[in-house]
Amino acid sequence: MMKKLTLDFYTRKDVIQIARDLIGKILVTHLPEGITSGRIVETEAYMGLTDRASHSFGGRRTARNEHMYASGGSSYVYICYGMHQMFNVVTNEKDVPDAVLVRALEPLEGVEIMLKRTGKKKLDYTLTRGPGNLGKALGIHKGLSGLDLRDERLFIADDGFNAKPEDIVVTKRIGVEPAGKDALLPYRFILRNNKYVSARKS
DNA sequence: CCGGGGATTATCT
DNA sequence: GATAATCCCCGGC
């Protein structure tokens, strides 16, 4: 049974714990094309103010990252490299810009719709592996930034799946080398042995 | 298997 | 004008 995560899940202060807890949950979009969903198998935590890899490091606040400062339980979607729609879960209280980047899903509902959106011919591990790919497959775009994650169009739910603690692997984050020593922080969580996890070395 | 580079454009300086 | 929380393809071994 699917149960939307409630606000108290998101407003906790420990973004690292929330990133870990999101492993195994289900991300759902219900847009005009239909319902698409997938199980979250890879996340990264971004510790707003103190994390050089975060868009909001040092309190930086611009039109792009404004939604990071919303209260926990809303979305932050931004465009990377001019073409990829990156989906983040905003956590903590209002004005504390912590967020979790969702990096990979295992497809569940609406595979046909995802194939149409991505132009792929058949389901394989590339459909929802990597933040750019999953954003495209689920139809996520900048216009969905700032939504409450209990919205009908975009929400996260629990279906009772419970990852064993030993099946959650922790590594450093991907693609954040310019952040210097902060790039080495153990803020990435993946579900062990899942083929949809982005395949780069940790 | 691995590294290099091009795609493509919103965003910020 | 430079950069970017990426992805894909290609060539070399």
**Please, are residues A180 and A52 in contact by the beta-carbon 8 Å criterion?**
yes
Residue A168 confidence (pLDDT) = 97
A111-130 in b/e form (b: 16+ CB < 10 A) is bebbbebbebeeeebebbbb
Three-state SS annotation for A69-101: HCCCCEEEEEEECCCEEEEEEEECCCCCCEEEE
Backbone angles phi, psi at A84, to 5 degrees: -100, 135
- Nucleotides of chain B in contact with protein CB (under 7 A) are 7-13
Q: How many residues does chain A have?
A: 202
Q: Is the CB of A4 within 7 Å of strand C?
A: no
Q: CB of residue A184 closer than 7 A to nucleic acid strand C? A: no
pLDDT at residue number A138? 98
Residue A119 to residue A97: CA distance in whole angstroms: 34
User: Around A15, how many Cα atoms within 13 Å sit in the side-chain half-sphere?
Assistant: 30
Q: Which residue has the tokens 């209260």?
A: A71
Residue nearest to nucleotide B10 (CA to C1'): A82
Nearest nucleotide to the CA of A145, by C1', is B10
Q: Please tell me the distance from the alpha carbon of residue A33 to that of residue A36, in angstroms, as a whole number.
A: 9
Q: Which residues contact A102 (CB under 8 A, 6 or more apart)?
A: A22, A27, A40, A42, A43, A87, A88, A89, A131, A134
| Distance B13 C1' – A59 CA (angstroms) | 17
pLDDT of A202 reads: 44
Which of the nucleotides lies closest to A68 (Cα–C1')?
Answer: C5
Residue A47 contacts strand C, CB under 7 A:
no
Any atom of strand C under 7 A from CB of A104? no
Q: How many Å apart are CA A5 and CA A26, to the nearest integer?
A: 10
pTM here?
0.95
Q: Which residues, given as ranges, of chain A have pLDDT below 50?
A: 201-202
- The predicted structure's pLDDT at residue A199: 64
Enumerate the nucleotides of strand C whose atoms come under 7 Å of any protein CB.
3-8
The answer to whether A5 and A25 have CB atoms below 8 angstroms apart is: yes
